[in-house]
Each structure stands twice: as structure tokens, then as C-alpha cells.
Structure 1
Amino acid sequence: MHPQTYALIKTKPEYKEFLRFHPQWYRTLNKHPEKIEEFISASKVYHGQTIPQRLERFQKNMDMVLMILKLLNNK
């Protein structure tokens, strides 16, 4: 693997974990190091770090808080 690509992967543990669970990316990055942006995007999707995933998680948490508040107000 190219040294710059390897150094980038070592900087974040999420990238290392994603690479371990998806070894096809190891082969892809060996042959095409320019696809590092695609790798980072796929890793973010896998770990739920995209903006739509974060908003969905926030919405679920807000729904739960509102439900708890509603239950507490009814008592």
C-alpha cells in the first residue's frame, strides 16, 4: 500500500476497523490509491457518520425524550 494511503488509514481507528471488515477495500486501495475519497465515504456510511444518519439518530433521540416527557406529564 502506498505510504500516504497507509498513513491516512493509521490516523483514524474507524478506517482500520472498516478495512478489517471490508478487505476488498485493501485490494482496491493497493491498486488504485486515488480511490481514497471513496474509501472514506464508505467508511463514514458504515460508521453512521453521514449527515442524514446523524439527523435520523438525533430525531429518534428527540422522539424518545418527547415520549418520556409526555408520560411524565400525564402522571
Structure 2
Amino acid sequence: MRPDVIQLLNENEEFRNFVRQNPSWYRKLSRDPSVLQTLEKEANYFYGRTFPQRVERMQSNLGLAMMMMEMLKMGQDTVTQTQETFS
């Protein structure tokens, strides 16, 4: 592998870990160092950093927050109804 590619992998821990988990990239980078941009895209997809993945994660978190708000609201309604019953 070319020294500049090795240096890039040593400087970027995430790329290094991605290549370790996907050994086929060792061969790809050794044969054609110009695939570094493809490596970056694949690593971003692997780590969930693409725009669609971020949007999906945000929607999921928002849905969870809305569900929690509904549960809290229902809990307050139940407490209010219980208090009215005993009054």
C-alpha cells in the first residue's frame, strides 16, 4: 500500500477501523489508491452519517419524544380524574 494511503489511515481512526472490519478494502486501496473518495462514502454509510440516515434517526427520536409526551399527558389525566373522584 502506498505511504500516503497508510498515513491517511493512521491519521483517521474511523477509516482505519472501517478498513479493519472490511478487509476487501485493503486490496482495493493497494491496487487503486484513487478509490479513497469511495472509501469515505462507504465509511460514512457504515457509520450512519449520510443525510437520509440522519433524517431517519431524527424522525425516530422525534417520534419517541412525541410518544413520551402523550404518555405523560395520559398520566396527568389519570391523576386528575382520580383526584376528582375522591373530591
Shorter-chain TM-score bucket reads over 0.9
The alpha-carbon deviation at position 72 of structure 1 amounts to 0.2
Instruction: Name stretches of at least 5 consecutive residues in structure 1 with no aligned partner.
Output: none
Which runs of structure 1 show a deviation greater than 4 angstroms over 4 or more consecutive aligned residues? none
The alpha-carbon deviation at position 9 of structure 1 amounts to 1.6
| In structure 2, C-alpha distance between the alignment counterparts of 1:11 and 1:54, rounded to whole Å | 25
RMSD across aligned positions (CA): 0.9
Match of residue 7 from structure 1: 7
Larger RCO (CA under 8 A, 6+ residues apart): 1
Instruction: Name stretches of at least 5 consecutive residues in structure 2 with no aligned partner.
Output: 76-87
Q: Which moved more, 1:55-64 or 1:8-17?
A: 8-17
TM-score (norm 1): 0.92
Q: How many residues align?
A: 75
Identity %: 31
Q: Which has the larger radius of gyration?
A: 2
Match of residue 31 from structure 1: 31
